[in-house]
A and B are shown apart, each in its own frame.
Chain A
């Protein structure tokens, strides 16, 4: 299964993503420069973390006009799996593939730490095989990760089970103290209505090896493999 890791000027987790993905049996990952205009031949798309275009104007505001983005939107509409990690999440919100926006952390501090998230939707394409309530430990590293959405949007996200991950304490309780950035309802990751586009602030790409203190990120990427294979089986 082939993953595209899109590189924008200022991406800095592209190598983390490529290394993590290529370490997983069944995945072959390749860089795609943001000036390319096609994602033909890829089964899944990764928008990695970093500071595309120096975060100028707003995080992701300029990257979302990169030449590759129309094909990301097209492939997303075709049902391909798209995951946006950190800056990638911000880009997905800016281009409107995901609702809401990511604003300055409530503390005004850049947060860089290992956190715990709880899987809220067990059967999503990205948490397949994780029972509801499964705790995933992953690092966060961002200054603008405070998820905001209007109340009507929030209600819809809840009703349609699009909130995939929430920040929790180490034992799985949703508390303000476990929220690293002030996100509404401790939201750490959401998907689109169709369930094939996922954005999250924590870094599964940096939680795929024991020596990185967590291998929970593997659950997300392995879930994507299963979902994509199931999708291909359906299409065949």
Chain B
């Protein structure tokens, strides 16, 4: 099973990378770009027969994959590979 997790900085946290990319996009023909935030995308392969998978995954999303002080996370998809 493939799981996709997105980690993104909270709105209150300064994201200088996002600001630099926003400026570049505005300069390169997209003045309508208002803001860019840069986070992380994780693609995780998991053996799906394990118990409590979702609960344990969310636990590690909070403890390891994201830092709740500065980031939010979202589990995008838990699609079973066919």
Contact = CB atoms under 8 A, between A and B. Distances in A.
A43 interface: no
Given A93-B69, A94-B67, A146 B20 contact: no
A2 interface: no
Contact of A65 (B9, B13, B64, B69): B64
Interface residues on B, range: 10 to 19
B67 A104 contact: no
Given A94-B67, A103-B70, A148-B13, 16 more contacts: A57-B65, A58-B67, A65-B64, A93-B69, A99-B69, A101-B67, A101-B69, A101-B70, A103-B9, A103-B13, A106-B14, A108-B16, A108-B20, A148-B14, A148-B69, A149-B69
Q: By CB atoms of chain A within 10 A, which of B9, B14, B17 has the most? A: B14
Interface of A: 57-58, 61-62, 65, 93-94, 99-101, 103-108, 146, 148-150, 182
Nearest to A184: B14
Nearest to B38: A104
Q: By CB atoms of chain B within 10 A, which of A62, A94, A103 has the most? A: A103
Chain A contact residues: helix, strand, loop or mixed = loop
A90 B71 CA distance: 15
Given A103-B14, A104-B16, A108-B20, A57 B64 contact: yes
B44 interface: no
Contacts of B13: 103, 148
B16 A105 contact: yes
A214 B9 CA distance: 37
A104 B18 CA distance: 11
B81 interface: no
A62 B65 CA distance: 10
Contacts of B70: 101, 103, 148
Contacts of A101: 67, 69-70
A151 to B, nearest CB: 8
Contacts of A100: 69
A54 B12 CA distance: 27
Contacts of B14: 103, 106, 146, 148, 182
Nearest to A100: B69
A182 B70 CA distance: 15
A187 to B, nearest CB: 14
B16 to A, nearest CB: 5
A133 to B, nearest CB: 28
A150 B67 contact: no
B16 A106 contact: yes
The 6 closest A-B pairs by CB, nearest first: A101-B69, A101-B70, A108-B16, A106-B16, A148-B13, A101-B67
B45 to A, nearest CB: 17
A104 to B, nearest CB: 6
